[in-house]
């Protein structure tokens, strides 16, 4: 039994029945959510941080809801400390030496 039948929408007749049926289709149709890339989100958040435009203006320009922009902005600012955090440190000299060694190994495999 569909959601519309459970609500009793099928008991109506005539025009009203047709409109209820259309409404029921809209209510039960799965919404297609847009997937946004991280590059797009970053662009939106950086524009929001600049505060040259209001959230409403940004939302209209990017076709988003202002709450979505605020949410992304809070997530961005909350994760910003990880950029300068104590992550793995890469030694530049060791990296270059390891890369050269791997390159030599690849060459020797093909040559001989």
Nearest Cα to 11, choosing from 23, 21, 1? 21
Q: Does residue 65 share a domain with residue 27?
A: no
Q: 25-34, 39-48, 97-106 — which one is most confidently predicted on average?
A: 39-48
> Is the same domain home to 1 and 27?
yes
Buried b vs exposed e over 6-43: b needs ≥16 C-beta within 10 Å? eeebeeeeeeeeeebeeebeeeeeeeeeeeeeeeebee
Q: How many domains does the chain have?
A: 2
Q: For residues 1 and 36, what is the distance between their CA atoms, to the nearest angstrom? A: 35
Average pLDDT for the chain: 79
- pLDDT confidence tier of residue 12, bands split at 50, 70 and 90: very low
Q: Assess if residue 55 is contained within a domain.
A: yes
Per the model's pLDDT, the better-predicted residue between 82 and 4 turns out to be 82
Cβ atoms within 10 A of the Cβ of 44, count? Answer: 21
Indicate if 28 and 46 belong to the same structural domain: no
Residue 95 lies in a domain: no
pLDDT digits (tens, 9 = 90+) for 39-59: 999 999 999 999 999 999 999
Burial of 47 (0-12, 13-18, 19+ CB in 10 A): middle
Percent of the chain with pLDDT over 70: 68
Determine the Cα–Cα distance for residues 74 and 1; give it in Å rounded to an integer.
42
Residue 46 belongs to a domain: yes
pLDDT score, position 86 = 73
For tokens 């958040």, the residue is: 45
Domain that holds residue 76: 33-82
Same domain, 45 and 69: yes
- Is 21 part of a structural domain of the chain? yes
Judge whether 63 lies within some domain.
Answer: yes
pLDDT of residue 45: 96
Predicted local confidence at residue 70, as pLDDT:
95
61, 40 in Cβ contact below 8 A?
no
């Amino acid at each position: 039994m569909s959601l519309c039948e459970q609500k009793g929408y099928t008991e109506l007749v005539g025009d009203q029945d047709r409109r209820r049926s259309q409404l029921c289709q809209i209510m039960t149709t799965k919404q297609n959510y847009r997937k946004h890339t991280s590059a797009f989100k970053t662009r939106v958040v950086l524009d929001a941080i600049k505060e040259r435009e209001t959230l409403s203006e940004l939302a209209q320009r990017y076709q988003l809801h202002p709450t979505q922009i605020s949410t992304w902005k809070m997530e961005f600012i909350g994760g910003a400390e990880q950029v300068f955090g104590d992550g793995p440190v890469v030694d530049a000299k060791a990296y270059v030496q390891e890369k050269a060694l791997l390159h030599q190994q690849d060459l020797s495999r093909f040559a001989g």
